[in-house]
Amino acid sequence: LDYRLVENVAELRDALDPHLGVRVIHARTSRGSTERPQGNPAAIPHDVFRSSNHPAETPIVFLHGFTDTVASWEHLTEHLVVTRALTLPGHGGQTKALDWTQAMGWLQESLAGQKVHLVGYSMGGRLALAYASTHPEDVLTLTTIGAHAGLPDVDRASRVQADEALACLAEADLEAFLVRWAQTPILNLTKPRPEVLHAKHLRRRQNRGTGLADALRKLGPGSMPTLRPEDLVMPALFVAGSLDTKYVATAQELAQRASKGTVAIVDSAGHAVHEDQPHAFIDLLKHHVR
């Protein structure tokens, strides 16, 4: 059976997703802890809800990056009013992903006709950008971190080939794949604290190699359709870290092409701005969605 170690309530909510099938959940608890999950575990959906005392307010919906989980947003959502984090296809113990067309349908079904503020990082940012372009009626504001609108045609074949090699490794040996992925240069523009790296590794191990491999093949940059930022009609904020020069240029280009686009370059941050400079990102997000 699939085994998962959970160490906080957010991870427990995610692990109790009834769509994931039979698995073993190992939850470490403390006698002195008063923090307990709310509601019927069998009814907990595939995403995490917060601040349900404010149901009338428009939620901020977060899409995490490749190999991560909804818990990667936990340090941000506690500072915001109404938030919701979705588990990407192929993640959180899933063994299959969705292609781009299916993913748009999944997102539409997940939002259930509710207008939202959509926030995405990396793969989640590309999905958010695609959804906002194709379903603008559902998105009040868009915020992306480290995302682009599609690769040039000349780069697609080589990227598909590189991602296929990584997908094969993920299927064969998840631990070896995670070590390889953690060494990706763009993910190491800053030096996170050891405890942050440890927490991130634990989150990544909640995924299954077959699910990550399928996500790479179906939702990776090589298979991503070319998007038009000009199709965005809502206020769109494109965020990049100052150390991530590639995505600084990308964010600036996206902001120029979107009719209501703005760019924010965060000092002393790399690719994952929300992890490197969380307070600066929270301030940006609060100003953008108000």
pLDDT class of 109 with cuts at 50, 70, 90:
very high
> Mean pLDDT over residues 238-265, rounded?
98
Query: What's the rounded Cα separation, in Å, for the pair 276 and 178?
Result: 20
Q: What is the pLDDT of residue 35?
A: 41
Q: What is the pLDDT of residue 12?
A: 84
> DSSP E strands: which ranges in 186-281?
236-241, 261-266
pLDDT(49) > 60: no
pLDDT class of 30 with cuts at 50, 70, 90:
low
Q: Are 277 and 269 in contact (CB under 8 A)?
A: yes
- Beta strands 47-49 and 83-86: pairing type? antiparallel
pLDDT(42) > 80: no
Q: What is the pLDDT of residue 139?
A: 97
Residue 55 main-chain phi, psi, to 5 deg: -65, -20
pLDDT class of 47 with cuts at 50, 70, 90:
low
> What sections of 36-83 are H helices per DSSP?
74-77
Query: What's the rounded Cα separation, in Å, for the pair 67 and 238?
Result: 22
pLDDT(39) > 70: no
| β partners of residue 144 | 120, 238
Helix (H, G, I), strand (E, B) or coil at 192: coil
Token pair for residue 116?
Answer: 């939202």
Q: What is the pLDDT of residue 102?
A: 96
Helix axes 123-134, 209-219, angle to 10 degrees: 50
Q: Are 202 and 7 in contact (CB under 8 A)?
A: yes
Count CB-CB contacts under 10 A for residue 119: 29
Give every strand in the sheet of 47-49, ordered side by side.
47-49, 83-86, 60-63, 116-121, 139-145, 236-241, 261-266
Q: What is the pLDDT of residue 51?
A: 45
Q: How far is CA 1 from the centre of its chain?
A: 26
Query: What's the rounded Cα separation, in Å, for the pair 173 and 23?
Result: 20
Token pair for residue 143?
Answer: 């915020």
Q: 5-19, 35-49, 198-212: which range is least confident on average?
A: 35-49
